Amino acid sequence: MNNKKTVIVTGASKGIGADIAIHFAEKGYNVVINYNSSAQSALLLQRSLAQNGYSVIAHKANVTNKLEVELMIKETIYQFGSVDVFVNNAGIAYEGLLNETEDYDIDNVINVNLKGVINCCRAVLPHMINNKSGKIINISSIWGISGASCESVYSASKAGVIGLTKALAKEAGPSGITVNCIAPGMIDTQMNASLTVEEVNEFTSKLPISRIGTTSEIADTVLFLASDSANYITGQTIAVDGGLTI
């Protein structure tokens, strides 16, 4: 155990989550890299950060599985003594006409993107309430604000995360806990790997800041919300989207 602050980042095996984990490690936090299926990339990231002297562990837990999430939080507290910041980043994309979307896909998107966040909040809250402090940061999406055609279920799951953020901010505020949300625009990760260069260019040409965003730009905003500079901010959703939602 050490006297550093501790953060758990869900879905930190790659993409935005991996960069959030790196940013927190560089800020001196104990970092828990949560992953589900990408063990190899999660363990590679953990090893490379540990080799550079950072305090980092990797922990497998499917956010849809309440018991696995509870175990992750128990083990984090055992290892590091507390959970000061919890970043709900894990998520999956789904595209398709609503009428052609199978029940299985609807359940899967809602279970990972919304119920997964609920599972994690429920599991970490008793500890944060006991500490009378904590910061929960949820990763939604601009589509949770404005809705995307052919991404109705994804948009609904991400709108749910924004609603949850506001409600939980009210509920947990008196216990010294802030709950905030980030709505990224199009960010350069594997989630967008299926888009063609033309599709990306068409999307970015409509933005005031005419380019795709970087994982680092999301991670910097997460760090801000986790910092003392954001102590009086709660229940908010910050769009980091190049101006798309203006």
**Which residues sit at the interface with ligand NAP, rule CB under 6 A?**
10-11, 13-17, 34-38, 62-64, 89-92, 112, 116, 139, 141, 184, 186-187, 189-192
Give CA–CA dist 18/226, Å, rounded.
16
C-beta separation of 113 from 158 below 8 A: yes
Instruction: Give the shortest CB-34-to-ligand NAP separation in angstroms.
Output: 6
Of 38 and 234, the one with the shorter C-beta distance to ligand NAP is: 38
Q: Is the dihedral of CA 130, 123, 29, 185 positive or negative?
A: negative
Q: What is the DSSP string of 21-35?
A: HHHHHHTT-EEEEEE
Pick the closer one to ligand NAP by CB: 105 or 132: 105
Give all strands of the β-sheet with 6-9 in edge-to-edge order.
56-60, 30-35, 6-9, 85-88, 134-139, 177-184, 237-240
CB of 169 vs ligand NAP, minimal distance in Å = 19
Measure the CA–CA gap between 209 and 13, rounded to whole angstroms. 28
Q: How far is the CB of 117 from ligand NAP (least distance, A)?
A: 9
Nearest CB to ligand NAP, comparing residues 57 and 129: 57
Between residues 45 and 128, which has the closer beta carbon with respect to ligand NAP? 45
Catalytic residues: 154
> Within 13 Å and on the Cβ side, how many CA atoms surround 192?
19
* Min dist. Cβ of residue 64 to ligand NAP (A): 5
**Three state DSSP letters for 72-132:** HHHHHHHHHCCCCEEEECCCCCCCCCHHHCCHHHHHHHHHHHHHHHHHHHHHHHHHHHHHC
Residue carrying the six token digits 């102590």: 231
122 vs 170, beta carbon nearer ligand NAP: 122
